[in-house]
A and B are shown apart, each in its own frame.
Chain A
Amino acid sequence: MRIPRNCVLLFLATVSTFGAGGLAYSAQSGSQIHQAELSTIGFFVVFAALTLLISFWAARRATSSSEYLTAGSSVSSGQNGLAIAGDYMSAGAFLGLSGVIYTSGLDGMFLAASYLASWPIVLFLVAEPLRRLGKYSFADVLTHKLRERPIRVLAGASTLVIVSFYLVAQMVGAGELISLLFGIGYGAAVIMVGLLMIVFSTLGGMRAATWVQIIKAILMIGGSAMIATLVLIRFGFNMSDLFKTAASNHPNGSRIMDIRGFAQDAVATLSLGVGVLFGTAGLPHILMRFFTVSDERAARVSVFYATCLIGLFFAMLFVIGYGSIALLRGDTTYADASGALFGGNNLAPIHLARAVGGSILAGFISAVAFATILAVVSGLLIAGASSAANDLVVGLSGRQLDERMRLRISRIAAMVLGVLGILLGLACEGQNVAYLLALATAIAASANFPLLLLAIYWDGLTTRGAVVGGTFGLVSSVALTAMGPTVWSKVLGLGPAIFPYDSPALFTVPFTLFVCWLVSIARAEPEVDWRLAQPAVAQYVESSNA
């Protein structure tokens, strides 16, 4: 009897994942083991088993690269809307934004408003052209107009850098969460989640990631609604009482009702906002979502559904954030004398769930947050794998890949990125995940967004302009981010930062647009009859004119 290879892989992965978790768990001291409650472990096991089952189901269908990378473009607009919302309701947003509100008040909601404001920009500028002109990555849109090889190499490099930064945020959130969930060390937690996500994304592909996102988005909204409602019940549905208690508990008093970041450094906050506002339109795993639906109408409608769901989620996060200040600060069960939460401030919603709903709600929310991490990370790995196979390898080799080779390279790339994610997650322990997400988005805003915008809307963009401008955007945003306070001082410990702002987007986005424009007009390339050469582009413009 022949046993399918996927079954063997799934079995090995399950054993290694749960084995790693079990070993790490049993290595802890007795006092730490008591931290992990039965309900929490039960929810975790159910979710992990469910995701592995979905992965196995999807793996049986993922026999072609289009099925593996874009779910065969058969996802409906409602499903895609939920999946996009799921991508945004990531651990970074759920844990990170709540953590920022817990730490400094309304600053966290400023980031949330910036994320939401970025969606109309995605809808108006890139969603429809991407669906019409692209197949596997945003580089497909650029290569309709520009020379293929250099553009694919650039797009591949920028996608991998952005995915790596985004992975760090998710892995840090995963490490802290699983560490608390099981009472195991941060390192063991990161390795355990990393192994599971490698299996999940390598086998299941986009269909598995989409379905886990859908289920998780529903559970996340339900769980958040439950916590927010229980918090409001505690205060008799009186927001004024909630704010009053929060302000009396927080060392900043009533200043938590304002954006403190603006008062301290308006340029830094503005730069962070600009990065988030334009970065969503450059995030590879978000752009990939538009290839999973059948047409432009479905792409449009899915963005609307996603925007509504994300707005609802952020509104609940607002209550959760202020609720955590009101109920957790000063309570020695959850926080120390300085107000720092046990396990890190990113865990504010988990502690709050325990405070208002007991260990069962905390276990449920932890497991949902865990599924969130798994789904978002899988989407990231697939976006990175798609770009590696379709952009980087094609660009470097100068040859199109056949179906089998594309699928194989995609899966290998997903595995390599998974290992990289584990290593980066281990290196960045203790960083605020919302901030790390904002930095990744700033790089996407500087490197990808200007190219997409100019390629779709400006006739004069040349291959040389795109390559020089895109390279400038990528290198400058990564270099300035690395020289900023978070990476230079906190992660690398190299002393005072060289560049004073964490997010460089306020400077790098306009400069990248300027460089693209300058190089393009400096030496124009000859035009040919593009309608004959590029039928897909002609079709798109004709339908837009109709």
Chain B
Amino acid sequence: MQGASLHKATESVPLRVTVNRSGALRFRLVLAMIVSYLAMMGFLIRSARHATQTAVVALDFSPAMVALASCMAFSVVLTGLFVFVWHGN
């Protein structure tokens, strides 16, 4: 085992990513994602608690399925907006 010693830094090194425009946007987007996820969860809890056993005659996409699909679609759209609209990649 050879090589240089590790650096002995004991300092707190500020990165201050949050003070710039990009950092603030990132946090807003994360909050948007978390809020949409929690909204989906809230809806699922509500629909699970109020679910009733219905006769199996005709079944379509349930409200819980729509909530899950919306959250998944929102994840993809938010990612795309950040990459292509904000950064122009």
Chain A residues with CB under 8 Å of chain B are 106, 109-110, 112-114, 116-117, 119-121, 123-125, 129, 144-149, 239-240, 243-244, 247-248, 253-255, 257-263, 266, 269-270, 273, 277, 297, 300-301, 303-304, 307-308, 311, 314-315, 393-394, 397-402, 405, 455-463, 524-528, 530, 533-534, 537, 540-541, 544-545
Name the residue in A148, A257, A537 with the highest tally of chain B Cβ atoms < 10 Å from its Cβ: A257
Q: A109, A124, A527: which contacts B65 (Cβ < 8 A)?
A: A109
With beta carbons under 8 angstroms apart, the residue of A125, A129, A301, A534 that contacts B13 is A534
Known: A304-B80, A459-B15, A530-B11. 18 other contacts (CB 8 A): A112-B72, A120-B78, A124-B30, A148-B9, A240-B59, A255-B51, A258-B48, A263-B48, A301-B89, A304-B84, A307-B75, A307-B80, A393-B1, A402-B3, A457-B15, A524-B12, A525-B10, A545-B20
Which residue of A117, A124, A247, A541 contacts B56 across the interface (Cβ within 8 Å)?
A247
The answer for the CA separation of A304 and B80 in the assembled complex, in Å, is 6
Give, as a whole number of angstroms, the nearest-CB distance from A227 to chain B. 20
B59 and A244: CB pair below 8 A? yes
Query: With a CB–CB cut-off of 8 A, which chain A residues contact B60?
Result: 239-240, 243
**B84's closest neighbor in chain A, by CB?**
A304
Q: Which 5 A-B pairs have the closest CB atoms?
A: A459-B14, A400-B3, A257-B62, A262-B48, A530-B13
CB-defined contacts of B29 to chain A, threshold 8 Å? 120, 124
Tell me if B6 and A394 are in contact (CB < 8 A). Answer: yes
Residues of chain A lying within 8 A (CB to CB) of residue B59:
240, 243-244, 247, 254, 257
- Please state if B49 and A459 are interface contacts (CB–CB under 8 Å): no
In the bound complex, do residue A116 and residue B2 qualify as a contact, i.e. CB atoms below 8 Å apart? no
| A interface, over-half SS | helix
Nearest residue in B to A118 (C-beta to C-beta)?
B75
Contact partners of A253 in chain B: CB under 8 A: 53, 56
A393–B61 CA distance with the chains assembled, in angstroms: 53
Interface pair B75/A124, CB less than 8 Å apart: no
Whether B62 pairs with A258 at a CB distance below 8 angstroms is yes
A116 B75 Cβ-Cβ under 8 A: yes
Known contacts A125-B26, A301-B83; decide if A254 and B10 are in contact (CB<8 Å). Answer: no
CB B32 to nearest CB in A, in angstroms, measures: 9
